Structure 1
Amino acid sequence: MRPVRPFPTALLAAILAAGLAGPAPAQNPAQSPAQAPARAPAKPPSASAPPTAAPRPYASIAVTMPKPVADPSFEAFRKQLGEIAGRKDRAALAGLVAKGFFWTAAQGEKADRKKSGIDNLAAALGLDAADGEGWEALASAAADPTLEAVPQKKGVSCAPAAPAFDGKAFEQLLKSTRSDVFDWAFPALADLPVRSGPAADAPVVETLGAVLVRVVAEPPPGGAPGAAPAGPGTPPQAGAPPAGGPPADPPGASQTAAAAPPLKVVTPSGKTGFVSADAVLPLVFEQLCYIKDASGWKIAGYLGGE
């Protein structure tokens, strides 16, 4: 199973209109890895071949993180949702699923109209998985305090929300680097150290701020031969943490923090280095969607999946 992996919203139209990629970006506020709910990429970090020539500098694109929703009712709803996830209480969760629950994946609508909303939600998240990772995915979703509206669905908002950045500049960046959206991530830290090697104590070659960074799709030295690298945003922590408490292991992650391989990146200045896998977040991920009616907040749908 996979953690809640957001899906394109804010930049989807621009990216698809340009014919540059499949699903596009979405994300939430820059937080320290101990605070940020985990999100896994919608697919491996790159569909394009990793660069074989010497890395080249590319345009630096700043990102602005969304702010938490200032609505006490949403905070209370998220707390309730997190508690339900912790108990794995399917009956209670069913009461929070809106009528007409949708599940929009890359290939179109996947919700089975012959089934109930809770059954479709369970299928989308994998709630019936024996390892309980679907419930961890739900807990991770409940931990995120951001929302962004979905223009195509009146009254529906999804989380995590996307960071803001210059969409046109990003389109040009994809063309100039011959990359796609799956190759890009952004720091989860205010200052992200990029190290010369995969070792945690390797010298820092550059420190990045809130800018887009390219992830190189190849395993770092010492990685399993032929193994796909861990994608940005698959940190060794997630779940719905209690207020102020450390998050649990992320849904879909069976490795420990020590085992999570670092990611190889190319910085805007053209330098190559390594960053902690939990220190960057992907631009492509799936989202859980909500709607607020007279009775309160409900789970309206899910964006993501094949």
Structure 2
Amino acid sequence: MRRRSIRRSISIVPAAGLIALGLALPSVAAAQSALPRPSELPPAGGPGSAPPRPATPQTRPSQTPAAQTPAAQAPAAQAQPARPPAPAQAGPPGAGPPGAGQPAPARPYKPVTITAPTPVTDPSFEAFRKQLGEAAGHKDRAALARLVAPSFFWLAAQGDKADRKKPAIDNLAAAIELDAVDGGGWELLASAAGDATLQPLPQRKGVQCAPAAPVFDDKAFEQLLRSSRTEVFEWAYPARGSVAVRASAAADAPVTETLTGILVRVLPEPDQPPPAGAPAAGAPGSTDGPGSPGSPGGPGGGAMPPLRVVTPAGKTGFVAADAVLPLIFEQLCYVKDAGGWKIAGYLGGE
């Protein structure tokens, strides 16, 4: 499933949602009420390889897997048991959602390393994702209905919103806004079909959700938020292992630094027009649109404006919008039974 773009994650404050971050940090509770809806997703298609990341049980050194719902969270770390994030509620002073105040100025910070999720190699899951992709590509509601488990759940900030009086497909449609005129729900499914990562949902036996979140030291991240005076929304990580930071928003600007395997601070700021050298949407060389991998090049990759980031040294620069992934995003969940894989639920929404 394509995560909501990092730009959306740090600058849009519409509906409430769940957090794919298994950390009980002060800002997490507030963050749960600031996720965008499926209709606000960017075009489907992940950066670089197949969709950013579905979740599978992840192993973590002495770190806490990032990902889960208010009612559940990723498995605990070997050395540090993970604490389930609180349900959507007001956080302590200073832990408001994006846009609640001016972002902290750029300053040096201690890097927090991350381990990216590993794609699942189960042939049956690959076959299921192919079916899901075909249903999404043809906007075939009947075919999609056959892939949804009868017990489909929809865990939002206020609990399970699935209407048990309605068919499972109707609950899925409501959760991801499948009937939205912009086709955002279908794009979300198309992107999910390309995501081969999974991570278990502990409180629901056999259920695994995607995209999977990266693994990192929760205490180190908590300290990072305090020392940098930032919010969870302001942090992302490289979509392809490393990310090139350029001196300006121009697509051909010189690379000043390359960040690898660490959390990266993204400065919240209003969207900007595409930088010089960036192809327009739909134009030759454009990387936006369903199934597109995005540009691994300069900040101008694709039609989306670049993001301004802060490096560990405290310097600012620009990266391609699809070069980093947010820590907060919605998840689609699956379950495997005797009949194969099915869409078991959705984590996110109001």
Matched pairs, number: 266
Question: 1:161 and 2:172 equivalent?
Answer: no
- Deviation of 1:174 (Å): 1.2
Question: 1:19 and 2:26 equivalent?
Answer: yes
In the alignment, what sits opposite 2:47?
Answer: 33
Change (3 A) 1:196 1:257: closer
In the alignment, what sits opposite 2:94?
Answer: none
- Deviation of 1:258 (Å): 4.6
In the alignment, what sits opposite 1:28?
Answer: none
In the alignment, what sits opposite 2:322?
Answer: 278
In the alignment, what sits opposite 2:312?
Answer: 268
Contact 1:194 1:208 in 2 (8 A): yes
In the alignment, what sits opposite 1:114?
Answer: 165
CA distance in 1, matches of 2:271, 2:247: 12
Change (3 A) 1:65 1:180: same
In the alignment, what sits opposite 2:151?
Answer: 100
Contact 1:20 1:171 in 2 (8 A): no
**Helix, strand or coil for the counterpart of 2:181?**
coil
Contact 1:193 1:208 in 2 (8 A): yes
Query: Which letter maps to 1:81?
Result: L
Deviations 1:62-103 (A, max 9, x none): 111111112110001001111111111111111111122111
In the alignment, what sits opposite 1:63?
Answer: 114
Residue pairs, 1:39-78, within 5 angstroms: 46-47=98-99, 49-51=101-103, 53=105, 55-78=106-129
- Deviation of 1:127 (Å): 1.3
CA distance in 2, matches of 1:156, 1:294: 14
Query: Which letter maps to 2:240?
Result: L
- Deviation of 1:219 (Å): 3.3
| Counterpart pick for 1:298 among 312, 335, 342 | 342
In the alignment, what sits opposite 1:226?
Answer: none
Contact 2:112 2:263 in 1 (8 A): yes
In the alignment, what sits opposite 1:252?
Answer: none
Contact 2:3 2:325 in 1 (8 A): no
Contact 1:122 1:128 in 2 (8 A): yes
TM-score w.r.t. the length of structure 2 is: 0.69
CA distance in 1, matches of 2:183, 2:126: 24
CA distance in 1, matches of 2:46, 2:179: 31
Deviations 1:104-136 (A, max 9, x none): 112322212221110010111111122322111
Contact 1:63 1:164 in 2 (8 A): yes
CA distance in 2, matches of 1:259, 1:215: 18
CA distance in 2, matches of 1:182, 1:104: 21
In the alignment, what sits opposite 2:88?
Answer: none
In the alignment, what sits opposite 2:175?
Answer: 124
Question: 1:191 and 2:198 equivalent?
Answer: no
**Helix, strand or coil for the counterpart of 1:194?**
strand
Deviations 1:28-86 (A, max 9, x none): xxx982324268xxxxx944534464x21111011111111121100010011111111
Contact 1:98 1:300 in 2 (8 A): yes
- The two structures, once aligned, show a CA RMSD in angstroms of 2.8
The answer to which of 85-94 and 125-134 deviates more is 125-134
Question: 1:8 and 2:52 equivalent?
Answer: no
Residue pairs, 1:77-88, within 5 angstroms: 77-88=128-139
Change (3 A) 1:236 1:102: farther
Change (3 A) 1:81 1:165: same
Deviations 1:249-290 (A, max 9, x none): xxxxxxx96531111111111111111101111110011000
CA distance in 1, matches of 2:287, 2:174: 24
In the alignment, what sits opposite 1:228?
Answer: none
Question: 1:173 and 2:224 equivalent?
Answer: yes
Off by >3 Å, runs of 4+ in structure 1 = 2-7, 45-53, 219-223, 235-239, 256-259
CA distance in 1, matches of 2:112, 2:313: 12
**Helix, strand or coil for the counterpart of 2:116?**
coil
**Helix, strand or coil for the counterpart of 1:278?**
coil
Query: Which letter maps to 1:142?
Result: A
Query: Which letter maps to 1:8?
Result: I
- Deviation of 1:203 (Å): 2.2
CA distance in 2, matches of 1:238, 1:103: 27
Contact 1:50 1:218 in 2 (8 A): no
Contact 2:301 2:320 in 1 (8 A): no
Contact 1:147 1:160 in 2 (8 A): yes
Identity over aligned pairs, percent: 61
